[in-house]
Amino acid sequence: MTDPAPTEPGLGMQLLQVDDLHVQIASRRGTVRAVDGVSLAVGAGEAVGLVGESGSGKSMTLRAIMGLLPPEAKITAGRVLLDGIDLTQLDHGQLNKIRGPKIAMIFQEPMSALNPVMRVGLQIAEGPLVHLGLSRAAAAQRALELMRRVGIPDPEQRFRAFPHEFSGGMRQRVMIAIALSCEPQLILCDEPTTALDVTIQDQILRLLTRLCRESGTSLIFVTHDLPVVAQVCQRLAVMYAGQIVERGTVEEVLTQPYHPYTLGLVRSAPDVDHPRATLAAIPGSPPSLITPPSGCRFHPRCKFAEEDCTTEEPPLRVLRSGRATACLHYERCQEALPLGAER
Amino acid sequence: MSAPTQSAPVGQPSAPDGAPLLAATGLKVTFPLAAGLITRMRHEARVLRAVDGVDMTIGRGQALALVGESGSGKSTLARALAGLQRSDEGEIRLEGRVLPARRSSADQRTIQMVFQDPYSSLNPRLTVGGMLHELLRVHHVVPRAEVESHTRELLGLVGLSEDAVHAYPRQFSGGQRQRVAIARALALRPELLLADEPVSALDVSVQATILNLIQDLRAELGLTLLLISHNLAVVRHMCDTVAVMYLGRIIEVAPTEKLFAAPRHPYTAGLIAAIPRLTFSEEGDAPAVRGDPPSPLRIPTGCRFRTRCPVAQEICEREDPALTVSPGDPAHSAACHFAFAPVPPPRTPADEKATA
């Protein structure tokens, strides 16, 4: 197999490999380059975080992998390889055979992802019924067992309940049960806890990490919340304006960012354990994806920007195993004060 | 930068010594729910107790945070304090003076709100200048001749350029809209700024600029701040005192550092432990707080937290703990039978009637 430029070395078998993915959205004001050359690899049993602000293309990347792009969005280039099969080449029927037993997805808003007029138990049993060929009774039995595993109290009674009878946290547990129901190799999570309260978020994150660890399921976890990634993931990719700007292990990226945008994200959020006098805000706002800035897309907001940043589009350079940055002057991030030193 | 709102307080003569800027006692806000035929026949009209007996004070110059999960009543409490929501019981005092249900316009001006969503809280058909001019004229904040110049001063104060006068809200990004919303609130020269989740609709990188702006304005104008947030990191950064709400009640109040270092209520401790952190500790699978918050329609008897509490005892089922002042620290109070006593209790918790 050919090994295109910025994939991760040293990780042996990759379960999922996204190569140079481009997604464009046609709009009245022009073509939005929502995802612009994203490459990503996920190993078996690994949890990878995809972090960025709204409009950075993280959700679009996830939807492109799942084949769930909105009708106005198109994959214009790139491959999505799952176990060697290119998902972008599959038709609707073939994708339906992959979704469920191979890949599952957990959405931010469970109320709009669940069927409001179908009993919760049957929604969980549907996957095993269709994909695993279980009988109705066996599928129902499996649904009950899954409800127990995700911590829904009184599964026998709750089996016949409708989604609106559940709380937000319980609905997200139902979503997790559905995602796990066909034992997929990979679960895609799109901000699964953003709509939840802190204590419920804590419960759901712990549940999700435990279940994936037990079953060896890989995760891609999309969020704008860095601490949430630190709880769930081993590796992390930071997205800005449709591109990945930095990649590495969670610990490395968060303690020693190699991109000024990551540095800004880490420093601009108040840290609950280490309050600081002032927050280092990132000036400006994210750029338009119809006419992105020339050169490095972050340069208009970057305090380290120099002449070459405005003209040269920096590639994602691999520095060492698994660690990559798209900043031409990443050394300057390290000259900046280490995390928490201005306390 | 000039500070147009630094002049004397609005309206009323200054308060008698020692009276806090704003105080609420026994405040209750309920919402009747549409009842079915059977419940009406049984005379059991269903009532949602959003704010269920709150006592609180905000001193002049203080930055008080109100934290809690969704449904804890923090926004309803804020709206009641701002006079946007009638209360069913209890009273609200401004500088020691009881506020009537219908407030005078001077009283309304003293407390101003900044709302969560800057996309829906600004009039889309008014330019920023039009919005501010109207406010300044209707409330006679400055003489008519100075309305124009004062508007520009306000925009400068929140870090917007003068061109913003002619722009409509849709032309701004979320962060800039929130600046407009803050300028709108400051136009009336309030003493208390009530900010209800002012940054949770904004992108992470923009949040910091708005938080820094609020802090600068507080220092510059001597504003009193009541900040409502579910984000404890924001709260710790911004406020000197924190009040934690649970199911319509304040269950713990303490100076910020004290609250984070030594929370006395099990819910507060759980809330703090549940915050995701940037550290990489390998904790167990047990969540910080178990279960879901009960519906405000079915508040548990006794202590309202007992259904999720790790240390709940038999007494918690029978007796509703009052918000009790710590014997060691008058600024710290908590509504737990065992907040300032060992768990399990030596038969009868002695500190229970301290505030009775």
The whole-number pLDDT of residue A74 equals 93
The whole-number pLDDT of residue B284 equals 66
Residue count of chain A, please give it: 343
Q: How far apart are CA A32 and CA A29, in angstroms?
A: 9
Chain B residue closest in CA terms to A207: B285
pLDDT tens per residue, range B161-184? 988 999 999 998 888 999 999 999
The whole-number pLDDT of residue B344 equals 64
Does residue B13 carry a pLDDT above 60? no
Q: Does the residue A147 lie in any domain?
A: no
Contacting residues of A for B263, CB less than 8 Å apart: none
Q: Please state, for a pLDDT cut of 70, what percent of chain A lies above it.
A: 94
Q: Please state, for a pLDDT cut of 90, what percent of chain B lies above it.
A: 64
Q: How many CB pairs lie under 8 A apart between chains A and B?
A: 122
Would you call B233 an interface residue with chain A, using a CB distance cutoff of 8 Å?
A: yes
Q: How far is CA B63 from the centre of its chain?
A: 10
In which domain, by residue range, is A241 found? Answer: 14-108+186-335
The radius of gyration of chain A's CA atoms, rounded to the nearest angstrom, is 21
The domain that holds A20 is classified in CATH as 3.40.50.300
- What is the average pLDDT across A192-207? 90
Closest by CA to B175, choosing from B195, B205, B153, is B205
Band (B328; pLDDT cuts 50, 70, 90)? confident
Average pLDDT of chain A, as a whole number: 89
- What is the average pLDDT across B127-134? 94
Q: Name the minimum distance, in Å, from the CA of A170 to any CA of chain B.
A: 8
Q: Does the residue A94 lie in any domain?
A: yes
Burial code (b: 16+ CB inside 10 Å, e: under 16) for A26-38 equals: eeeeeebbbbbbb
Band (B280; pLDDT cuts 50, 70, 90)? low
Q: Name the minimum distance, in Å, from the CA of A226 to any CA of chain B.
A: 7
Residue B73 has phi, psi (to 5 degrees) of 95, 10
pLDDT tens per residue, range A55-95? 899 999 999 999 999 999 999 999 999 998 999 999 999 99
- The pTM is what? 0.85
Q: Helix, strand or coil for residue A279?
A: coil
Would you call A270 an interface residue with chain B, using a CB distance cutoff of 8 Å?
A: yes
SS3 readout for chain B: CCCCCCCCCCCCCCCCCCCCCEEEEEEEEEEECCCCHHHHHCCCCCEEEEEEEEEEEECCCCEEEEECCCCCCHHHHHHHHCCCCCCCEEEEEECCEECCCCCCHHHHHHEEEECCCCCCCCCCCCCHHHHHHHHHHHCCCCCHHHHHHHHHHHHHHCCCCHHHHHCCHHHCCHHHHHHHHHHHHHCCCCCEEEEECCCCCCCHHHHHHHHHHHHHHHHHHCCEEEEEECCHHHHHHHCCEEEEEECCEEEEEEEHHHHHHCCCCHHHHHHHHHCCCCCCCCCCCCCCCCCCCCCCCCCCCCCCCCCCCCCCCHHHHHCCCCCEECCCCCCCEECCCCCCCCCCCCCCCHHHHCCC
Q: How far apart are CA A192 and CA A223, in angstroms?
A: 8
Chain A residue closest in CA terms to B285: A206
Contacting residues of A for B215, CB less than 8 Å apart: 278
- What is the average pLDDT across B272-277? 89
Does residue A167 carry a pLDDT above 60? yes
ipTM field: 0.82
Q: Does the residue A7 lie in any domain?
A: no
pLDDT tens per residue, range B194-250? 999 999 888 887 889 999 999 999 999 999 999 999 889 999 999 999 999 999 999
CB distance A273–B277 less than 8 Å?
yes
Does residue A10 carry a pLDDT above 60? no
Does residue B314 carry a pLDDT above 60? yes
Contacting residues of B for A266, CB less than 8 Å apart: 278
Whether a cis peptide bond, with omega within 30° of 0, leads into A101 is no
Would you call A165 an interface residue with chain B, using a CB distance cutoff of 8 Å?
A: no
Domain count, chain A: 1
pLDDT tens per residue, range A108-158? 888 889 999 999 999 999 999 999 999 999 999 999 999 999 999 899 999
DSSP 8-state secondary structure symbol assigned to residue A263:
H
* Contact between B197 and B228 (Cβ < 8 Å): yes
Q: How far apart are CA A296 and CA A307, in angstroms?
A: 11
Q: Does the residue A202 lie in any domain?
A: yes
The whole-number pLDDT of residue A279 equals 85
Q: Does the residue A236 lie in any domain?
A: yes
The whole-number pLDDT of residue B17 equals 57
Q: Helix, strand or coil for residue A32?
A: strand
Residue count of chain B, please give it: 356
Average pLDDT of chain B, as a whole number: 86
Would you call A265 an interface residue with chain B, using a CB distance cutoff of 8 Å?
A: yes
Band (A338; pLDDT cuts 50, 70, 90)? low
pLDDT tens per residue, range A239-249? 999 999 999 99
Q: Does the residue A169 lie in any domain?
A: no
Would you call B216 an interface residue with chain A, using a CB distance cutoff of 8 Å?
A: no
Does residue B2 carry a pLDDT above 50? no
CB distance A199–B236 less than 8 Å?
no
The beta-carbon neighbor of A203 closest among B208, B278, B287 is B287
Q: Name the minimum distance, in Å, from the CA of A197 to any CA of chain B.
A: 6
Neighbours of B127 (CB within 10 A): 16
Q: Name the minimum distance, in Å, from the CA of B138 to any CA of chain A.
A: 34
- What is the average pLDDT across A241-263? 93
Q: Name the minimum distance, in Å, from the CA of A148 to any CA of chain B.
A: 14
pLDDT tens per residue, range A301-334? 998 888 899 998 899 999 988 899 999 998 888 7
CB distance B276–A279 less than 8 Å?
no
Q: How far apart are CA A63 and CA A113, in angstroms?
A: 14
The whole-number pLDDT of residue A331 equals 87
Residues 202-221 of A with CB under 8 A from B: 202-203, 205-207, 209-210
The beta-carbon neighbor of B277 closest among A197, A230, A285 is A230
Q: Does the residue A218 lie in any domain?
A: yes
Contacting residues of A for B290, CB less than 8 Å apart: 203
Neighbours of A156 (CB within 10 A): 10
Band (A337; pLDDT cuts 50, 70, 90)? low
Structure tokens at A202: 């804590």
Band (B6; pLDDT cuts 50, 70, 90)? very low
CB distance A203–B290 less than 8 Å?
yes
Q: Which helix (H) or strand (E) holds A243?
A: strand A243-249
pLDDT tens per residue, range B19-77? 899 999 999 999 987 767 766 676 666 788 999 999 999 999 999 999 998 889 999 99
Would you call B198 an interface residue with chain A, using a CB distance cutoff of 8 Å?
A: no
Does residue A268 carry a pLDDT above 80? yes
Chain B residue closest in CA terms to A226: B278
- What is the average pLDDT across B93-116? 92
The whole-number pLDDT of residue B156 equals 93
Q: Does the residue A160 lie in any domain?
A: no
Would you call B290 an interface residue with chain A, using a CB distance cutoff of 8 Å?
A: yes
Residues B62, B67, B69: CA angle, nearest 5 degrees: 170
The whole-number pLDDT of residue B19 equals 83
Per DSSP, chain A holds a count of helices (H) and strands (E) of 13, 12
Structure tokens at A184: 């997929």
CB distance B208–A268 less than 8 Å?
yes
CB distance B280–A251 less than 8 Å?
yes
Would you call B205 an interface residue with chain A, using a CB distance cutoff of 8 Å?
A: yes
Residue ranges of domains in chain B, CATH in brackets? 22-246 (3.40.50.300), 248-276+287-356 (no CATH)
Chain B residue closest in CA terms to A51: B204
Band (B135; pLDDT cuts 50, 70, 90)? very high
